[in-house]
Chains A and B, each alone.
Chain A
Amino acid sequence: MAHVIVDHVWKQFQLRHDRADSVGNLLWQMVPRRRPRTEVRPFWALRDINLVMDQGLSFGIIGQNGSGKSTLLKILSRTMLPTRGAIDVSGRVSALIELGAGFHPDFTGRENVFLNASILGIRRREIEAKMEGIIDFAEIPDFMDTPVKYYSSGMQARLGFSVATAVDPEILIVDEVLAVGDEAFQQKCMDRIFRMKREGVSILLVSHSLDSIERLMDRAIWINQGVMRAEGVPRDVVLAYRESLLGQSAIDDGDGGGKAVTRERAPVEMVEAGIESSGSGHERIAAGSRLSIATRWNNASAMTWTGHLELTIRRPDGLEILGVSSLREGKPLRFPPGTQTIRLSIAELWLGSGRYEVDGALLNEEGRRLQLWQPLVAFQIQSLGHTAGLLALPHTWNAEAP
């Protein structure tokens, strides 16, 4: 049975700037010291990480850059040893760490496929049978006999992902594959990850794409500066993480230093939020009716403040249905002193029956997230037609004689 157990893992790096990295330096250091030695500065990249991942369970790992996510994945893929603690990984592990799988630059794409397969313990005949599929998925048939060192980073990522997922792993470790490759390929990757998950493969995914973690993973972990800050249902963990990022730049999601961030406070305050609808009632709305999300704001200062609002309609399981952002649309909102109401109106909301939530975020002019509401308001849709699925679009049947 495939499982991953991380048992009180600590990882320390010695940040020594004076380590001799050549024999010449080494001999030089043996000369009696003129200056005192620089201190060894231990750096704990991971502190007491615990994790139990059962068969078929998927974990998403989130956190800012430099928080230790990749170190954890390297320990799990056994390319690094923990300083303290132990791990137990059983089952065939396929890991995609940073871009590309482990490729030998002088080998051709095809040779690298064989190399990777033999490291994972797959017979040559087996992998030959799969070669067609691997090439198809990577979409680089013309380059399979070119040494990998001539590949573009996108091509390496394509082949890497294709190989790592084709070798029938029981545990798939993926670190930021979605950072390279064009959008179509990213989508293809996510589709494949999701399909593998359905087939019972355990997946460990590091991603800055919080939405996909929320949507696709069973559990999530938030690591901050080497410490596991939260573990649980992705939605809760992502929310906790997002809240910690408030006031930092929302555009490069998490690239900030993380330590001494001076939180910018929103100068306006939300007084109330609600749903206005042309359909019957406030809570239960007929599909296709007009819907407005109204928010009332109070600006206590004497100056007009300009900012942005993001509203997202989601299913309670986190699936994003509609995301509207005044920032993306380039329409800044003005908040004059005193109170005012801002309304987002949707002419006809053709959603299927069910409960929906609206998340809100307040951003400043530069796109920094200042405040989050998750959820802001909720509403219930009643579809009067007999359609199934996410949408309840108006439709007609037509039969015509040829």
Chain B
Amino acid sequence: MSALKMKPAVPKRSVAGRVGHRLRDLARWLELMRNLAVRDVETRYKRSLLGLYWALINPLVIAAIYGFVFGVIFHATSGSIPYPVFLLTGITFWNFFANSLMSATVSISGNAALLAKLYFPRVVLPTAAVLARTIDFLFSLVILIVFILIYHVPVHWTALWVLPLLALQLIFTFGIAYMLAALNVLYRDMNQLIALLILVWMYFAPVMYSIVGAKPVIQDIVLMNPMGGILQAERDLIYTGYLTEPIFLWTAAAWAGLVFIGGLALFKRVEPLFSEVM
């Protein structure tokens, strides 16, 4: 380094001052996150012909196709629940996960203009993307309830336990979302890769089929998959009132914790490169 002409030292703030500062910042970023998520949902549907109905039509069409293929042609069994309701339940919860990942993947790379010019913690973007899909999910839940009413499916009171499970699913989703958002900045075809991965992943989760009656090895493989364990438990809690395999919830929880911490760490590590690579 060259000889010092002057020595500007970065001043240290007091601990209390720093904490207050941090809290004010946090409130600001939460507000920003909410704004981004709400506007994401708004712009996605406001300027399209059918408006918010897309959030509802999408799972319906998917359910209709799979329902026809698996229910009518292959005669998939779904225990006591009518197959259409069984399928729609799986698709509603799965789509929440899959759509969140798809949105989060492009959340950083698609906002280059914002990133280059404004400072805010970059993690706000994938988080907001997942939150936006959470809003979509709440709308599609309405469709599911309508179907449950049409088919007169009895819903167990344990359905309330789905909330903590959703939290678990969300934590897992965030972890993967951070990972993908960061990697997609470095490798632009992450997008295509993840679309393929999600397709394969869906067949490894009990979205369209029931694992009851399958070989124990197959059951284990499907339930070791965190999304498999979570989906199975969510459906169990809503319709049967007991968990088929409670042990696999621990697996899912461990996965969720690990992936969340790992995803966030990866994101933080790649974050300084964002402004340079884009």
Contact = CB atoms under 8 A, between A and B. Distances in A.
Given A79-B117, A101-B117, A107-B39, A8 B1 contact: yes
A26 B187 contact: yes
B80 interface: no
B61 interface: no
Given A79-B119, A98-B116, A104-B113, A7 B187 contact: no
Interface string B150-190: 00000000000000000000000000000000000011111
B35 A114 contact: yes
A346 interface: no
Contact of A23 (B111, B113, B116, B190): B190
B53 interface: no
A13 B276 contact: yes
Contacts of A121: 24-25, 28
Contact of A21 (B4, B25, B188, B275): B188
Contact of B189 (A8, A22, A79, A115): A22
B114 interface: yes
Interface residues of A, number: 46
A95 B117 contact: yes
A50 B117 contact: no
A22 B188 CA distance: 5
Interface string A85-97: 0111000010111
Given A5-B10, A88-B10, A121-B24, A103 B113 contact: yes
A23 B189 contact: yes
Contact of B114 (A22, A98, A102): A102
A243 interface: no
B274 to A, nearest CB: 9
Interface string B62-105: 00000000000000000000000000000000000000000000
B11 A81 contact: no
A68 to B, nearest CB: 14
Interface in A100-148: 100-107, 111, 114-116, 118-119, 121, 147
Provide the main secondary structure of the chain B interface.
Answer: helix
A5 B7 CA distance: 10
A79 B116 contact: yes
Given A7-B9, A77-B117, A101-B117, A115 B275 contact: no
Contacts of A25: 187
B126 to A, nearest CB: 15
Interface in B113-130: 113-120
Given A13-B276, A23-B193, A118-B31, A79 B6 contact: no
Contacts of B14: none
Contacts of A104: 39, 111, 113-114
Given A95-B117, A100-B117, A104-B114, A21 B186 contact: yes
A95 B186 contact: no
Contacts of B120: 119
Contacts of B32: 115, 118-119
A87 B118 contact: no
A20 interface: yes
A115 B8 contact: no
Nearest to A12: B276
A49 to B, nearest CB: 10
A308 to B, nearest CB: 39
A74 interface: yes
B39 to A, nearest CB: 6
Interface in A1-43: 5-8, 13, 20-26
Nearest to B119: A78
Contact of A74 (B2, B28, B111, B275): B275
Contacts of A24: 189
A72 to B, nearest CB: 13
Contacts of B25: 121
Given A23-B187, A50-B5, A79-B275, 9 more contacts: A25-B187, A48-B2, A88-B10, A100-B117, A102-B114, A103-B113, A103-B114, A116-B118, A121-B25
Interface of A: 5-8, 13, 20-26, 48, 50-52, 74, 77-81, 86-88, 93, 95-98, 100-107, 111, 114-116, 118-119, 121, 147
A-B pairs with the 8 shortest C-beta distances? A102-B117, A102-B118, A78-B119, A22-B189, A88-B10, A121-B28, A102-B114, A80-B275
26 contacts: A5-B9, A20-B186, A20-B187, A22-B188, A23-B187, A25-B187, A26-B187, A50-B6, A51-B8, A52-B8, A74-B275, A77-B118, A79-B117, A79-B118, A86-B10, A95-B119, A97-B117, A101-B117, A101-B118, A102-B113, A115-B36, A118-B28, A118-B31, A118-B32, A119-B28, A121-B25
Interface of B: 1-2, 4-6, 8-11, 24-25, 28, 31-32, 35-36, 39, 43, 47, 111, 113-120, 186-190, 193, 272, 275-276
